[in-house]
Chain A
């Protein structure tokens, strides 16, 4: 296997890993830092009304197409009403119905929205509007105005601005006077503009929405004029003539209809409220991935049950621990009992915490060793002896748990999480090394293992690393890339520099 192949494989894995990582973090918005919070808004519409004697049907326009924002969740809250949602020309509608109701009633619509810069008004280009049906004098006035405005404008945007200017000037303009009453609201003016625009064959509609900047409490819906220039929707404030969608503006419904209407009841009144809150950015990203049709969330760890997710958040750290050990062995040259024994011990340290972990590990291994030396005298065969050591380790663990509980030392309880089979094998190996090579080497190797385990624990315990690997498991491909590279590292290990120092030029050892 030549090295080019290795470098290519390693580079390919790194690129793949980073590409997936950036797609997920930048496009889908999975948070890179742990517990990053995303802004979300709870918007609520409380519809109150007096029911009539018979069946009641309440219709509420609810957000459908909301440029800049996406819907995360919505609820329909009522007592005893049946509720449905459906598409309507104005967007979406929720309908509550009940056969019979007495006394004033309130139904609630609640939605969770989050900012989604990728979302635009993606509805298709609308058809040219029907020319408005008007009586003869009005039609003449309209055409005159349109001709006038058209003269003073270059495109749809400037046409609309000029038109709105005329409408706002209102009183002074003869042709506008015909259509507009005194004390007209913004909604009236926007509606009038749509009529004029229809006369000029420009699709337009009235959009109603709320400003999310009003953090809490009741908000009043505001009106925008939406005009389609053949490519996209343009937004105009009918009063200030400002063009563009204002920041923090959520479009709730469109069209001339009111927010809510009722059949079989009266006094319908809608209160809108907005509340901002923060939510774990993970949830929002997941939701976004789901809605954008990306399968990355569907096939990610988040689709697993919570308990399984918890298991994987630990398991995914094992390669990181193994990486640490690999580096310590191949670059530094530290010896340990068993290749990956320290990783498992490090996992146990997660529960016991480092100090107690080391203390408990030392206690249990030394007690185990003492008993193992006694067993040596009995001259048991290998497998029975191993079984015996394992049983004793389990009993020791139970004993330490009970004792520490009696003494009120809580960390002693978590000793139950120590990998007992691994510990038994460690005791066995250590006792053999002890006998064959002496206590010094056994203790040295044992301490080495413990040190490596502690270091692996510290690195596996880095919170953001854990978060990163769990949210972006593809980063583990980079671990593979590193292992492939290290697997071809044929340079010296750090400890070899010391070991072979007698061979250095001028070391005086030459004979």
Chain B
């Protein structure tokens, strides 16, 4: 047990306690949390800073507003419904089209008006938010993911998660939905996580849970070796999200849209640690490198340059 403990330590693996105590508590001031916990606020901030996000169609704020949904999406056959305070993808409904009076989800389910209304009212009443506080629902552009990912994801939208420490991208992975994860890009629910070499934007092998997989379980295509398009743009977006919020330790979720390129989906002030398993590398080692050598007043461009230089896979101790 102790040798295992020392092994993880020497590999620079970040544990939950340390993530909370030494990084989140230290670098994420609580007063800034609302900026990322409320996806609507994040979206507006990003728009101001010129960072691309999925287009906002409308906001459903009250029970009364639910009736306005057909009006909001009148010109948009495809859209996504997201509780602004939802965590871990809870409560997100992606509508890929309509058939007759029903909405068709991305996985092919047909939902009637009553179901949608109930779902929206649950969301407004805080069923999906932390602590059950009142919430609003965002109606936004449905991302059409880039053809590259079609072979390695099952329904749903794959996204890229970048951990940004005080403006420096330190680790990244791509999350690929599977049948088990019901098309959600959530590692807890069985999505594949695959690490990305920060220097090149090329994927490594994936993991499901703690198990290494070389091929996507549903599509059987190889996961490693994919080159993420517009990798530099993704890194740039991620690095700039630091200035956006002022939070020192965040996870930036970026999706690659077929037409609009990288879009920021959301920011996370308590990003999970599974990314380490996906990269088979400890985060702590990279955070330490940053803390020792990085200049925290550098520009986004030089920060990215530093990250690409220092964090080329694999990072040696």
Contacts and interface: CB of A to CB of B under 8 A. Distances in A.
Interface in A463-511: 487-493, 496-505, 509-511
Interface stretch (B41-49, B100-108, B121-129, B148-156): B121-129
Interface range on chain A (Cβ under 8 Å from partner): 20 to 34
Nearest to A333: B16
- The binding surface of chain A is classed by DSSP as loop
Contacts of B10: 505
A505 B282 CA distance: 11
Contacts of B7: 504-505
26 contacts: A379-B118, A381-B121, A381-B122, A383-B125, A432-B127, A437-B189, A438-B189, A487-B21, A489-B17, A489-B21, A490-B18, A491-B5, A492-B17, A496-B8, A497-B1, A500-B273, A501-B210, A502-B207, A502-B210, A502-B280, A503-B280, A505-B11, A509-B212, A511-B212, A511-B224, A511-B280
B70 interface: no
A154 interface: no
Interface in B1-27: 1, 4-5, 7-11, 13, 15-18, 20-22
Interface of B: 1, 4-5, 7-11, 13, 15-18, 20-22, 63, 90, 114-115, 117-118, 121-122, 125-127, 132, 188-189, 204-205, 207, 210-212, 224, 273, 276-277, 280-282, 314
A499 B15 CA distance: 10
B224 A502 contact: no
Nearest to A489: B17
Interface of A: 330, 333, 379, 381-383, 432, 436-438, 441, 487-493, 496-505, 509-511
Contacts of A496: 8, 15-16
A384 to B, nearest CB: 10
Contacts of B15: 490-493, 496, 500
Contacts, number: 97
A501 B125 CA distance: 40
Given A382-B127, A502-B207, 12 more contacts: A379-B115, A436-B90, A438-B189, A441-B188, A490-B15, A492-B17, A496-B16, A500-B276, A502-B210, A503-B282, A504-B11, A509-B212
A493 B16 contact: yes
Given A488-B21, A490-B21, A503-B277, A497 B188 contact: no
Given A383-B125, A511-B224, A501 B4 contact: yes
Given A382-B125, A382-B126, A509-B280, A500 B17 contact: no
Contact of B4 (A333, A381, A487, A504): A504
A503 B13 contact: yes
A338 to B, nearest CB: 11
The 3 closest A-B pairs by CB, nearest first: A382-B125, A379-B118, A490-B18
A502 B121 CA distance: 42
Contacts of A510: 280, 314
Contacts of B314: 510
A497 B212 CA distance: 17
Given A436-B90, A505-B10, A510-B280, A492 B125 contact: no
A490 B21 CA distance: 6
B18 A491 contact: yes
A445 to B, nearest CB: 12
A379 B207 contact: no
Contacts of A498: 210
A333 B20 CA distance: 13
Contacts of B18: 490-492
A497 B21 CA distance: 18
Contacts of A381: 63, 121-122, 125
B276 A503 contact: yes
B166 to A, nearest CB: 18
B27 to A, nearest CB: 14
Given A379-B114, A500-B277, A493 B212 contact: no
